[in-house]
Amino acid sequence: MSLAEDLRRDFPLLYPATLNEWMLEAPEGWRDLLYELSRRINGKPGQVQQVKSKFGGLRYYYRERDNEVTAAIRDAVAAAWMTCEVCGAAGALRREGSWWLMVRCEEHADGAEVIERYRDRETALASIRAHDGTVSQAGITAVVELEKAGYHIGPEIDGGCVSVRRIGNNDDVAWVDVGNTVRVGGNGPLFFDIIEALEGRAKRDRVEQRLLD
C-alpha cells in the first residue's frame, strides 16, 4: 500500500475520495511525520486541500485552519525539511542539476549536492540574516523558492523581512516576511510576480494585509 492509500484508510475524514490522487502525493520517506500530523489534526474543523512535495518542501494546504492546525502543519513542514523523502532518514536539501530541489539522505542523494547555505536550520537562518530571529521553516522555504525562480534575496530591510529583487534590476524592490506567516509586500509589478512564484501561498495573507494598509 502506498502512503497515500494508508492515509486515506486511516484518516478518511482528512483524506476523502474527493481529494484525488493529484491532490494527495505523499513521499514514502515522510510517512512518520505525515502520520504524526494527521493524528494531531484529525477531527479538527477545516479541510485538507492538497498535500505534495515541491522544491524539497512539504506543501500541506488546509482550508480554514485554526491555530492548532497551523502549529501542527508548521511542525510537519519543519520535520520534512530535514527528512529524506525516500527513506525517512536524516536528510538535507539538495540540488540536482541547476534547479531540482529535494531532501535526501547520503544514501539516496544520487549525486545531488547539498546546498550549503541550507544545510541545516541554523545555517539557513544565518544566510538570510533576519535579525530578529523569527524566521520560520515556511519562510526559509519561500526564500528557496524565490531563489530558484531567479530572484535575488537581500538582507533584512525590517524586522523579520528580507528584500527581494529581480537579478539585474535594483529599482523594483519587494519584501517577504519570513516569520510564521509568509507575507509579501511591495507596490510594483514585482509584488505580483512574487505572489505568483510562491504559488499563491502568501496571497490571502497579503490580500488581508493590503486591506489593512
- Closest approach, Cβ 104 to Zn ion, in A, equals 6
Amino acid 11 reads F
- Closest approach, Cβ 147 to Zn ion, in A, equals 24
Amino acid 150 reads G
- Closest approach, Cβ 148 to Zn ion, in A, equals 22
Nearer to Zn ion, 87 or 114 (CB): 87
Nearer to Zn ion, 111 or 133 (CB): 111
- Closest approach, Cβ 103 to Zn ion, in A, equals 9
Nearer to Zn ion, 57 or 160 (CB): 57
Amino acid 127 reads S
C-beta of residue 62 within 8 angstroms of C-beta of residue 50? no
* Residues in touch with Zn ion (CB under 5 A): 84, 86-87, 89, 105, 108
- Closest approach, Cβ 109 to Zn ion, in A, equals 8
Nearer to Zn ion, 112 or 176 (CB): 112
Taking alpha carbons only, the member of 34, 39, 41, 36 closest to residue 3 is: 34
